[in-house]
Structure 1
Amino acid sequence: MRVESLQIYPVKSTKGLSVSSAEVQPWGLRHDRRWLVLDPGGENITARTHKKLLSVTALPQPDGSLQLSAPDLPALCVTAPTTGALLDTGLSRIDQLRDAGAEAAAWFGDLLALPARLAWQDDPRRRAVGAHHGGRAEDVMNLADAGPLLLTTGASLSRLNEWVAQTAAELSEPVPSPLVMDRFRPNVVVRDAEVPFGEDRWTRVRIGDVAFRASELCDRCVMTTIEPSSLAKGKEPIRTLARHRRWDGAVWFGLRLIPEATGTIRVEDVVTAE
């Protein structure tokens, strides 16, 4: 098996960026999910309820700043705050975050047509991976939902697309275009896996020279029903996953990983699993 693609999501719930290589840090990939959009009460604003976030491109700059762009809005460059106001988030396992300032707040407010703030996770070591998500005492993470990295395989997506087509045929619906992997927002996509959903049984993964521990499978939410390019919303893949991949009250696609070492991973790296 080899790495087919790598993605980072600098601001949680915004558009993914494809990269040819990524630095693995103890809490996840460098630049991945270190920024977060909040409402005035400190609740996380995500694309689950505000799909316009998926139209935002957040591009890390060499000087450490972040360039934001979205249709019909001027580009904005934001500097990661290291001092200044801390925002109470009220979110499970997330400590206070640094407020990115009034200009960024206005930019996201204009995008979403509601009051919003942009916040920066200045120290990921303050956020632990929950024990109920497979975390150990030493495991820390970025602002992802439940684990530092997410891995998916092309073989599993191909099988899911077969199931989606079967579901449509059984219901006398037009067969939809195949689902794209971007819907699932992985960090690492693996090609040449022999068995679809074989990752369900993986406990350890090595990508190039970097070792990871599998912490848990990834339960999927309504965000996967949004087509990332058009922002059109539908019933898939949740409808079909519920027929084939439903247990413990959830539907499942992908594997969460926790780094056991630091280093750099690259597209075309060899992937081994046990």
Structure 2
Amino acid sequence: MSAVYSVKEIYIYPIKSLAGISCQQAFAEEMGFENDRRWMLIDAENQFITQREHRILSQFYPQISDGKISITFQEQKHEFSAYEHLDNPVQVNVWDDKSEVVEVNESTSKWFSEQLGFECKLVKIIKPGDRKHESSRLKEIFNVSLADGYPYLMIGSQSLDSLNEKLADKITILRFRPNIVISTEVPHEEDDFTTFKIGDVQFKNVKPCGRCIMVNNDPENGKLKKEPLKTLSKYRVVNNSVLFGTNIVSLNSGIINVGDEIIF
């Protein structure tokens, strides 16, 4: 490929389905960026909780500083250590994957329960191997985080620009919750990447990402819209799945930065 591609934006989402954090730099690991989707909320039946059923989760804003994670929701704020957790393991499923997690602490679970109005717990995945995900396309098994499927989601800038040309009300990349946004010249060309490097980190493309109703949730206000899924379904459906962005995995660890070039 003769075009020059570079990293435009980096995001992590410490707690599954809550708002993300924009970063200038992130440490790539096998399970995803450090502190990305290592935590999630589960209900009283140990079922994971997402914006699909609870759009208000988009209004919980995390920040990480000095080893502590603070969550702001409306006028309320709560903080806990990124390293703390109870000892008793909890068995949960993230879609078809069995996962072992541990509760962070009782007070944090109580705070989320009070804000959401139902019993829930904040849990954490501790180490690689506590959740494994099999790629039917690659016939490989990966150690993953608590993300829906794969550790990283990458989107090209032209994919969003092309979509926005078709929308009456323009949207931002935040609708799609990417980890890495790269500059591109052709819409959806990231789907066809194979292996590539960013900084010292080698990445491998697994498959384009099938999208769900969650992309219609406006992160600005938590309201459900008809777009962009309605428009995407007119030109981005493959095998009954609406595709936008691509799922990738890292083959080694290292730091990547905004501005880094993608090397093929």
Q: TM-score range by the shorter chain?
A: over 0.9
Hey, what does 2:91 align to over in structure 1?
A: 88
Structure 1 contact 27–125 (Cα < 8 Å) conserved: no
Q: 1:161, CA displacement in angstroms?
A: 1.0
* Contact 2:205–2:248, Cα closer than 8 Å, also in 1: yes
Alpha carbons of 1:133 and 1:186: their partners in 2 closer, same or farther (altered >3 Å)? farther
Q: Which amino acid aligns with 1:180?
A: T
RMSD: 1.6
**Which one of the candidate residues 154, 159, 182 is aligned to 1:190?**
182
Q: Which is strand-richer, 1 or 2?
A: 2
Contact 2:32 2:145 in 1 (8 A): yes
TM-score scaled by length of structure 1: 0.89
Matching residue of 2:56: 52
56, 69, 72: which is aligned to 1:69?
72
- Output the CA distance in 2 between the equivalents of 1:244 and 1:221: 15
Q: Could you say if the C-alpha distance between residues 248 and 57 of structure 1 is closer, same or farther in structure 2, counting changes exceeding 3 Å? A: same
**Equivalent in 77, 98, 106 of residue 110 of structure 2:** 106
1:14 equivalenced with 2:14 (yes/no)? no
CA distance in 2, matches of 1:202, 1:26: 19
1:166-191: per-residue Cα shift (whole Å, max 9, x none)? xxxxxxxxx22x11000000000001
User: TM-score, normalization: structure 2?
Assistant: 0.93
Change (3 A) 1:247 1:79: closer
Identity %: 27
Cα pair distance change 1:94/1:34, threshold 3 Å? farther
Query: Separation in 2 of the partners of 1:48 and 1:242?
Result: 18
The ranges of structure 1 where at least 4 consecutive aligned residues each deviate by more than 4 angstroms after the TM superposition are none
What amino acid is the match of 2:251? E
Instruction: Count how many residue pairs are aligned between Structure 1 and Structure 2.
Output: 259
Q: Using the TM superposition, give the Cα deviation of residue 239 of structure 1 relative to its aligned residue in structure 2, in angstroms.
A: 0.4
1:212–1:135 Cα change, 3 Å: farther
Shift of 1:202: 1.1
SS at structure 2 position matched to 1:96:
strand
- Tell me what 1:221 maps to: 212
Partner of 2:164: 161
Corresponding letter in the other structure for 1:36: M
- CA shift at 1:49, angstroms? 1.0
After superposing the two structures, state which structure 1 stretch, 214-223 or 77-86, moved more.
77-86
* Equivalence for 1:269: 260
Q: CA separation of 1:272/1:163 partners in 2, compared to 1, >3 Å: closer, same or farther?
A: farther
**Where in structure 1 are there 5+ consecutive unaligned residues?**
165-174
Q: CA deviation at 1:87?
A: 1.9
Q: Distance in 2 between matches of 1:228 and 1:134?
A: 33
**Deviations, residues 183-236 of structure 1 (Å, cap 9, x unaligned):** 000000001x12111112111122122110000110001110011112221111
